[in-house]
């Protein structure tokens, strides 16, 4: 670990699932981050960014701030572009001016889902949704205004304590006895925030820069993922597979999601000398965490 890099670490979106996981990973290393939630640091407000940089003089910025409600982005594309897109350029420029490294998180939704193999970092992008387009805009803003050192980490199907996510929805609805219908023609890789946070720091320690794909190992359909969640949490309820086309008849205003969005994580494994653990093992650990602490983790005062 380079102590100069971690001298002043600023975590944006610190009240979210990934922000909390990153703050916890840093503290386990003896690094106390400046953890800023949106309420006190709006990355879409250039004056707020300038003030935070002038006050904290970060050497490393971990940007977890994002508009992540995929379906809502269809109704709020301008807001999505502002937060997920243009604000990233503002952060990148501030990092360049202050000599800080920047880690930014993007998504499997920048791809169109037509591939028959895991997507590589340099594969062509073609987002299908307003959310995906806004995240791609953020990628381009970062690259256009990049500081000397930057990491763009694409990930997928993120879940963890401290927020709403797919496993939590499945468990809560299942425990309420709600019959569940889940699409069986979307395939991806669930990613536990604790693992993504640790992987981020390992990647930084390896001296990496540029674009990387980081997810838990393996791939699964949404339907099989839901079934695994119910099994892990010991929940019994009716679970029925349906097609995306059938789901659109139920929810016609939802965003289009890529049918296949598995990311190629081999470059990451070669860079750091190890692979991410399988998604099912990570899901089991998530269950242990939320059974011990609850789905929502109370934020610290600085989050």
Q: Are 99 and 146 in contact (CB under 8 A)?
A: no
Please confirm, yes or no, whether 159 is among the known catalytic residues.
Answer: no
**Catalytic residue chosen out of the listed positions 105, 131, 159, 260:** 131
Please, which residues have CB within 8 angstroms of residue 16's CB and are 6 or more apart in sequence? 64, 65, 66, 68, 162, 163
Question: In Å, what is the CA distance from 220 to each residue of 81, 142, 161, 168, 228?
Answer: 30, 31, 21, 17, 10
| Per-residue b or e along 85-103, where b marks 16 or more CB atoms closer than 10 Å to that residue's CB | bbbbbbbbbbbbebebbbb
DSSP lists the bridge partners of residue 63 as 12, 104
CA distance 55 to 15: 20
| Per-residue b or e along 119-146, where b marks 16 or more CB atoms closer than 10 Å to that residue's CB | bebeeebebbbbbbbbbbbbbebbeebb
What is the DSSP secondary structure assignment for residue 161, as one 8-state letter?
S
Task: Report the catalytic residues.
Answer: 131
């Amino acid at each position: 670990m380079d102590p100069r890099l971690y001298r002043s670490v600023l975590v944006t979106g610190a009240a979210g699932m990934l922000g909390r996981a990153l703050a916890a990973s840093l503290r386990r290393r003896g690094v106390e981050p400046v953890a800023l939630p949106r309420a006190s640091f709006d990355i879409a407000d250039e004056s707020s960014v300038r003030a935070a940089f002038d006050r904290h003089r970060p050497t490393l910025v971990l940007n977890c701030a994002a508009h992540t409600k995929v379906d809502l982005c269809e109704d709020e594309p301008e807001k999505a572009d502002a937060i997920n897109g243009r604000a990233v350029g503002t952060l990148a420029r501030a990092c360049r001016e202050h000599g800080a490294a920047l880690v930014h998180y993007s998504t499997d939704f920048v791809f169109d889902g037509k591939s028959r193999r895991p997507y590589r970092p340099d594969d062509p992008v073609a987002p299908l949704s307003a959310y995906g387009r806004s995240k791609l805009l953020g990628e381009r803003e970062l690259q256009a205004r990049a500081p000397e050192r930057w990491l763009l980490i694409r990930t997928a199907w993120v879940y963890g304590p401290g927020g709403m996510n797919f496993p939590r929805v499945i468990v809560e609805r299942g425990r309420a006895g709600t019959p569940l219908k889940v699409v069986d023609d979307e395939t991806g890789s669930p990613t536990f925030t604790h693992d993504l946070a640790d992987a981020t720091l390992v990647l930084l320690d390896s001296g990496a820069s540029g674009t990387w794909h980081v997810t838990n190992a393996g791939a699964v359909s949404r339907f099989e993922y839901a079934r695994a969640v119910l099994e892990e949490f010991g929940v019994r309820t009716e679970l029925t597979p349906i097609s995306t086309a059938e789901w659109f008849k139920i929810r016609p205003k939802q965003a289009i999601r890529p049918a296949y969005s598995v990311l190629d994580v081999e470059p990451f494994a070669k860079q750091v000398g190890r692979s991410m653990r399988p998604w099912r093992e990570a899901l089991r650990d998530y269950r242990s965490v939320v059974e011990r602490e609850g789905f929502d983790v109370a934020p610290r005062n600085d989050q």
